[in-house]
Structures are given as structure tokens and as C-alpha cells.
A and B are shown apart, each in its own frame.
Chain A
Amino acid sequence: MTTSIALNVNGRTVRVMVDDPNMPLLYALRNDLGLRGPRFGCGLGQCGACTVHMDGKAVRSCITPLSLVGDRSIVTLEGLGTPEKPHPMQQAFIDEQAVQCGYCINGMIMEAAAFLAKTRNPSDPQIREALASNLCRCGTHLRILRAVKRAAAQT
């Protein structure tokens, strides 16, 4: 039974046709809307690679059913900025060369951007705690911390 669901993604209203309204949001973003920022990592909400903003809050799109999204505003990594006009957090990751394979980096940037939006001048332990549930396997953590600190200093 195909149903049409309206979503507000990166400032635009879009419609996706789905067989299952309980399909996680991630699959709609990647396969129906062609977005690449949010990534499938675990499908269990454990790693953070799929993180998007929903009404400004960082959420795990791999365990968020489409049916629960409603008219909430979704922003993905693409909605944050572009290579030509990057968001300050994206620019900070470039400046600190805070990437190895980069598969987790979407989650790091989205989580950190949502965190900084509500926390001014965070301490090092606060940043570490904010990213505690985002996994990186390459061991890029120290650069990611430096990038978040750099972005924090500019906001």
C-alpha cells in the first residue's frame, strides 16, 4: 500500500511515496531524496552516522519512523552548508583536517552543531560528553574535538 508522505527537508516541502510509513527516515532521505550527508552505520541508533536535525535537535534518522516526523523541520548536512558556503562547523572541520575516512563525520558535525547552538563556550569535557554517543573508528577524535572548539570560539 503506497502512501504519500510530506516532509520538510532543508527548507523545502517534499513528498515521498512509501510502502511502509514505519520505514526509518534515513531511507527516505538517502534513497528517495538523494541526500548523502546522513549515512547508514548501524540501524540501531548506536553510532550516530545517520544524525540529522529535527526542529534543531540532533536525532538518529535510522531509528526515526517516517510516521513520527510530521511537519517537523529536518536539516541534513547538505542543508547546513555547501563546499562553496560551508557552515562554521563544516569550515572548522576543514580547517582542522578533522576527517579520515569521514563516514562518521556527518554525525559529528550535526551533533556538534546542535550542541553548540544551545551551549556557549563549552568546556573540553562538555564537548566530549556531547559527542559521547557518536562513534569514530579511524580515531579522528582529537581533530574533531579541535574542530568543535574552533567553531565554538567563533560563535
Chain B
Amino acid sequence: MRDVATTRRQFLKGTAALVVSFSIDKHQTAGAQAGASPKSISTEQVDGFIGINTKGEVTVFAGKVDLGTGVRTALAQIAAEELDVPFAAVTVIQGDTALTPDQGTTSGSFSIQNGGLQIRQAAATARQALLSMAAKKLNVEPSDLAVSDGTITSNATRRSISYGTLIGGKNFSLKVDKAAAVKDPGHFKIVGRSIPRVDIPGKVTGQFIYMQDFRLPGMLHGRVVRPSGMGATLQSIEEDSVNDIPGLIRVVHIGNFVGVVAETEWGAVQASRRLKVNWSPWEGLPDQSALWEYVRATKILKEDVTSDVGAATAALPRGATRLRATYDFAIQTHGSIGPSCSVAEFKDGALTCWSASQATHALRKQLAAMLSMPEEQVRCIYIDGSGCYGRNGHEDAAGDAALLSRAVGRPVRVQWMREDEHGWDPKGPPTLIDLDAALDAKGNLVAWTSAFFLPVGAATPVALVPATLANLPREMDIGPGGILNDTAIPYTVPNIRTVAHRLETTPLRPAWIRAPGRMQNTFANESFLDELATAAGADPLEFRLRHLKDARGAEVLERLAAVAMWERAGAKPRDHGARIATGRGLAFVKYELVRTYVGVVADVEIDRSTGEIRVKRFFVVQDCGQIINPDGVKNQIEGNIVQTVSRTLMEQVTFNRSRVTSLDWGSYRIIGFPEVPDVVIDLIDRPREKPWGSGEPSASVVPAAISNAIFAATGVRLRSVPFTPDKVKAAMARS
């Protein structure tokens, strides 16, 4: 795969400041003739996704973007395989609203499963069209033709013609054919291989261009000055307080949006720190020490019933054994290592905005709405940023840059400071779950009910902070993500009813963080299932198998038992009173009940005197169907496990009545090298099945596996994430 970054990089003379020029001409000529209509961005059209130049080089135009997951490489593998061109001949352009189709937000483990399959079908259609063009040119039947490395050869005449000659620089002008035959997986040469990621050499040598590196000629630097309370209103600004900042261009304020713009980045940082702004007092946040009472008391707008079989409520009291438990999961933040960043430029009435957004097409609509501009006058271009793991602050920073750029009439770059990212990016909402279930005399699960306290809303665009502060047009509904997923369970139970109470509000602006809802809900479901297995005197793995009518799921659990050398001894506490107790726990998910299967075993140690938990090792078995890049999948799984061990053991946003108070890495701690567990992975590859997502599913099982392992070690159930030493000690004292 060609390296786009190096071809579009240039240095300006003089200051040695890095300036990047994104030439769209090169990419347009890959697919369209000069002077022709703008490049298609339709998901219905082959030209939307695929361009081939006269040299036979292929450009893939992907609406899905690489958030550090390696999908740039994986999507290139899919296209190269389907087109029969060398992997090195493919370049991927991502998330440019002028060039790439809208494939939806890059989230939910859908980049391969949905985005990749759209590209595969477009490539298959292109290949079919190229074969038919070649058949005409060579005057043979298409069935006589073979393709290798982008060259089509007649078996009968041995005459050849290249893709570049056939289509080079021209449009296909062809609808994607849903019936176009895709390649038999038995013939795969590129898909299914651990091809090294194309971005890594640049990333380890400082050559790769991140959003935070992007510069434009004449660009200024902006910073935003945040209200003292999240809902505070601006009283006054003492502009004199920054008179002495060299290179200060302007203090900008629109409603409660306050920002500074300066010639240099350090000037902007200093101005934002020194600017004296007076805000109204505001204490509208709930008392964090009574968070769960607050959640339970929040007005319920509607009930979503996510499964309803038999007569669960009536069956509960008829069981031989009945268990009830309440689980909760703290508010967490994305914690991107690089704070959100964007550059915006207004030129001739049009806005161009560079952003690491997961959803540049949606961002374009949001910016147009905020600025009351026609959408056609806004272009958003993706550049890789720091990993976001969901909807972090990238889009908000884009809005900041757009407002400041419009105010000063020059390109403006905004990079959030650490306290902006920790304080103002949207948060994973607090989740509270009540469970109630019954076993019959034989220890079979006969009734299961659950109630989830979840904010209303879905995976819709999250209102931009600058639009909210400036009181400009924006979304008025909250968008916490698809958090209903995995409220229902993959097990067969005769009587089951799972309900979500959809709450009117939640304390901090919500959004999705990796495995949104799926993680919190699976934590409760898989931990409670373990409680029931214990009550039934059953081994947790056997208990799951007994209730799982799903052959692929069962295979995952059986493989897990073998890989982890699981002793089917039953989930009995093995606490012998030693200071360090050890145990192992299991959890399983069929993601959203319809796709990727994951089973994990966690080995943990717990120090009874300090309450500290050490996760020593995770065993992971995953079936995500067809695997595009095995090492890429393993990289995602390792990341899911390590990141979620961090979320499970230590992460919790703190706030007072006015604002978030966990504003740095000291107050919002994440896992460090000494605490990272080993991860042992076994992948079940099914080349003839559909490829499913890998970016999230293995994260969703981590909290339950750890909770279950701690029970196995100590007999104590931890039902509240994070499992901080204080909570662990309190739980042990109660038991």
C-alpha cells in the first residue's frame, strides 16, 4: 500500500514550520477525468468507493476511518483481494466528505462487518466490469479470462490488458451490483494474512501526520476558556488581563463560548490561562456521593422491553431458589492520550475542517447547522488523531476551531488542553441494574428478570460543546450510544423479561465509550449468572453450556475450557485465609445477541489486607467469523482486555456540584505497565462466514470475568465498577 502521508507532505521554506498540503487533485484523477463532474461519494456507485489510475494504482475511498485499530490496512486487504491487485497498489483515503461515501460513524465494531463488505462488493463489481471490458477488447468470452496483479489475460490467446489501460483515470459509472460474485475464500491470498500495518513505520519514526501535526499557511492558534461551572453563564470578561500576551489576535466570545486566538500556540495557552472571566455561580450537578439514589430517582420517560418470554414475573416466586442483586457501573471518560484537536479554515464563504472525528459526514451536518451554513459549503476531512474509543472531544474541538476561525477570518487550530479533555469530553453514563432470577430444584434457570436504568437516546450525534455554550443550533436530545444492546441475554430461559427504564437525563453529557451499554449490561448479566451457578452448585462453564442453545457459542466455551485448562469444579470460594487469595472467573458474550462470540477466563490475585486486585492473566477465545488480519484482531483483543482491566479496577470520573474534578492522570488513574496482565488468545477463524467486528466485543466480558474471579478467590461478590481497594475491603468486611 502506498503511503499517502509522504506523498502529501511538504515543508514550507523559512520558519521550518510543518505545513501539510492535502491535494485532492491527485485522488480525483485516480477515479475521474479532469474537468468531469465531482467525484461520486454515493454508496450505491462503484466510483464512490474505488478509483483506478492509468498506472493501475487503486484508491479506496472509505467512509470508515482508522482510529488506531488498523482498519486502513484491513480495508486495503479486502479491496486488493477482491480486485486481484497487489496489496502495495492500494491506497485508502478516509473520511473526507468531498471524496468518501458516508458509511456511517466509525463505531460499534462495524468497520469491517459493514464498511468492509460494502467495499468488497464495490470491488467485486469493478472486477466484473473490468473482465467484461477486457473480453470485448480481447475479443474473447469473459470465462476465458484470468486476473493476476491487475492484469487480465486470455487463457486461449495469452493476450493481456491491464486495469490501468482499461479504466485508468476514468469513471466506472456503474452501480454496485449486490449480485456480483465475490471471491471464494478458498482462493484468498491477501485476506486472512497478518499483513503488517502500513501506518506503523511512519508512526515509530515521527513521519506520520496526526491531526495534531496538521498546519496551514497563515494559521493561528486558539484555546477555549471554560466556564467555572458546566452550566454557568458569562458575567464579564476583563480583556485587559491579556493585553501583555505577545501575538494575541483576539478574545472571542459568543454567548457563553469564550476563546482566545494568538499567533503562537504558547501565546494562546498563556492567554487562555490568564484571561480573567467572571461566571455566574452554578451548582446544577447532583451530589456524587448519592449518585445511585439520584439515578434511581431520575424521571423515567419510557420503558424499553428488550426480551419477554413466558411469564417471568409470575414464575419468579415459584422457583426453588430465588436470587436478587443490584449492579452499578461508574461514569467513565475516554481518556485519549492526545487531547482533541482540529483546524478550520473559511475561504470564499466555505468552511473546510480537518478533524479526527469518527463521523466526518455527521460532523459536517453539525457544523453547517451550528453556523447556519448550507451543508454544501462545509467540507470535513479526517486525519488520524489519538485513539478516541468512542465519541470523545474531536467533534467539539472542530466546532471550537470553526467558531474561532470565523471570528478572526483566518485558519485556526484548536488543541484541547488535558483539563479540557478530561473535563469536557462526553462521558459514559452511570448504569444501574437490578436483577432477579429463580432456579428450579434441579438448579436450572427458570425465570430471569432485569431492569436497567439507562438514559434515553441512541447513537445519534452528540451536541457540540461550542454550539451549546454559544447557544447556536444543535441537537437537543442526548446521544449515549446503543446502550440497550446486551440487556437481553444469549441463554435460553423459559421465563424471561428484560426491561430498560429510559431516564430523562444523566449527570454529565453522555456519549459512547468502547462497548457502550454492552459492557455495563454484560457485567451485570454475566456476574449474576455466576451467582446463579453458585446457588445451583454448578460449574460456571457447565451452567452456561446447559442454558446456551447455540453451537458456535458452545464451541467457544469448549475451546476456552481447553485453552485455559478450566477445572469444572464449581464456583466455590477457595479462600484459605491467606493474605493473597487467588481465583479465576469466566464470562461469555454473543455480542448484541447476533454477532461475535467471546469467552474469557481471568486469573486474579487479591490482597486481603490492602484490597488491591492484580489481574494476572486473561485467556480469550473469539469467533468473529472470517478474519481479515489475524494480528490486527489480536491487537484489538489485547487492547480491549488491557483497557477494560483499567476501567474495571480503577476508573471513575469525579465531579462536584459545578464540574468534573478528575482533570488529569493523577485524579483519573489508568492502568500502567506494572499492572498489565498477560493475554492468551485463541482465534476461531471461519473464512466462509461473514466477517464480524473485533474492536469491542472482547471488552464487554472483562468486568464480569474479574468479578467472578474475585468471588472464586474470596467468596465476595463485587457488584460495583470500579473495584477500588476501598470497595473491595468494604465488601470483604460485609461478608
- Chain A residues at the B interface, C-beta cutoff of 8 Å: 1-2, 18-20, 23-24, 27, 30-37, 39-44, 46-47, 49, 76-78, 80-83, 86, 90, 93-94, 97, 99-106, 109, 125, 127-129, 131-145
Contact = CB atoms under 8 A, between A and B. Distances in A.
Nearest to A81: B205
Contacts of A81: 205
A51 to B, nearest CB: 12
Nearest to A147: B204
A41 B338 contact: yes
18 contacts: A19-B246, A24-B266, A31-B17, A36-B206, A36-B213, A77-B204, A83-B205, A90-B204, A99-B203, A99-B204, A102-B204, A104-B337, A127-B673, A128-B673, A128-B674, A135-B337, A139-B646, A141-B642
Contacts of A49: 337-338
Contacts, number: 194
B519 to A, nearest CB: 14
Contact of A137 (B11, B17, B336, B385): B336
B408 to A, nearest CB: 18
Interface of B: 11, 15-18, 67-70, 196-197, 199-210, 212-213, 246-247, 264-267, 270, 335-339, 384-387, 389, 415, 417-418, 631, 635, 638-643, 646, 664-666, 670-674, 676, 678-679
B673 A131 contact: yes
Give the interface centre of A18, A93, A133, A142 by most chain B CB atoms within 10 Å: A142
A127 to B, nearest CB: 8
Nearest to A17: B15
Nearest to B221: A31
A33 B215 CA distance: 13
B632 to A, nearest CB: 8
B643 A137 contact: yes
B205 A42 contact: no
A139 B266 contact: no
A93 B208 CA distance: 15
A94 B201 contact: yes
Nearest to B197: A97
A93 B642 CA distance: 19
A42 B667 CA distance: 13
B68 A101 contact: yes
Contacts of A133: 672
Contacts of B18: 34, 36
Given A137-B389, A138-B639, A140-B639, A102 B206 contact: no
Given A20-B266, A36-B18, A99-B199, A143 B417 contact: no
CB-CB nearest 7 A-B residue pairs: A101-B68, A139-B642, A37-B206, A101-B387, A139-B639, A102-B203, A103-B386
Given A2-B246, A94-B201, A137-B336, A46 B206 contact: no
B210 A41 contact: no
A143 B638 contact: yes
B337 A41 contact: yes
A78 B676 CA distance: 29
A33 B17 CA distance: 6
A83 B68 contact: no
Contacts of A18: 266
Give the interface centre of B201, B203, B205 by most chain A CB atoms within 10 Å: B205
A46 B664 contact: yes
Given A101-B384, A131-B672, 4 more contacts: A49-B337, A83-B205, A104-B337, A139-B646
Contacts of A19: 246-247, 264, 266-267
Contacts of B70: 100
A140 B386 CA distance: 13
A77 B205 contact: yes
A128 B39 CA distance: 50
B95 to A, nearest CB: 15
Contacts of A128: 673-674, 676
Contact of B11 (A34, A93, A106): A34
B207 A83 contact: yes
Nearest to A27: B266
Given A36-B209, A94-B196, A142-B638, A136 B337 contact: yes
A61 B453 CA distance: 45
A112 B640 CA distance: 24
A102 B200 contact: yes
A142 B199 CA distance: 19
Contacts of B386: 101, 103, 137
A134 B206 CA distance: 18
Nearest to A127: B673
Nearest to B676: A141
A20 B384 CA distance: 31
B635 A140 contact: yes
A143 B206 contact: no
Given A36-B210, A102-B199, A41 B418 contact: yes
Contact of B674 (A41, A100, A132, A137): A132
A45 to B, nearest CB: 10
Nearest to B415: A40
B205 A39 contact: no
Contacts of B210: 36, 39, 103
Contacts of B673: 127-129, 131-132, 134, 141, 144-145
B635 A106 contact: no
A148 B142 CA distance: 53
A109 B384 contact: no
Nearest to A28: B266
Contacts of A47: 337, 665
Contacts of A109: 204
Given A138-B387, A140-B635, A39 B212 contact: yes
Given A102-B208, A135-B670, A139-B642, A46 B200 contact: no
Given A19-B266, A128-B674, A103 B418 contact: no
B462 to A, nearest CB: 20
A106 B206 contact: yes
B382 to A, nearest CB: 14
Contact of A42 (B69, B199, B208, B664): B664
A152 to B, nearest CB: 15
Contacts of A93: 200, 204
